Structure formats: C-alpha cells, structure tokens
Amino acid sequence: MRPVDEGSRFSNGAEERIAEQLRTMRFRKRVFLGVDERDVWQKISELNEAYKKALLEERARYEALLQERHEGGGTA
C-alpha cells in the first residue's frame, strides 16, 4: 500500500473503520466463475455508504470549525 498523506485522513476514525471493513470482507464463492457477482456489488454498495457517512461526518466537523472561527473572530 502507498502511504497516505496525513492531511487527507479523516479525523473521526472513519478511515480505520473502513480499512477494517476491507480487511475482514469476505465474498460468497460460487462453484463456477469465482465469486457471486451480486454479493460483490452488495459489498461495494456497503463500502460506498461507509465512505458517504464518513464524508458527511467530516463535512459537519469542518463546518463547525468554520463557524467557531467565524464567531470567535480568529485569524489564520
């Protein structure tokens, strides 16, 4: 795996939760042709939902930080 830029990490632990989900993910096997395609698409959908949730949480945190800075009159 390539290293991840520290600035791109989610601060709410989502990255670790998603990584664990990927590590423990298992697909249903079929006798012919490898894995069950519907199961693969279901897993992809679950990962997509996890990423969407993480993004919404991070966006809310960012908006709260911006609001706090605006109300406090902080400077960069």
Residue 74: what pLDDT?
Answer: 57
**What residue type is assigned to position 48 of the chain?**
N
Position 42 in a domain: yes
Domain total for the chain? 1
Residue 63: what pLDDT?
Answer: 94
- In sequence order, which ranges of the chain are alpha helices (DSSP H)? 14-24, 37-72
Mind listing the pLDDT tens digit for each residue in 12-55? 788 888 888 888 888 788 777 788 888 888 889 999 999 899 99
Residue 9: what pLDDT?
Answer: 63
Residue 1: what pLDDT?
Answer: 45
| Polymer length in residues for the chain | 76
Residue range(s) defining the domain that contains residue 67: 26-76
- Indicate if the pLDDT at residue 3 is higher than 70: no
* Buried-state track 16-31, b at ≥16 Cβ within 10 A, e below 16: eebeeeeeeeeeeeee
- Indicate if the pLDDT at residue 10 is higher than 70: no
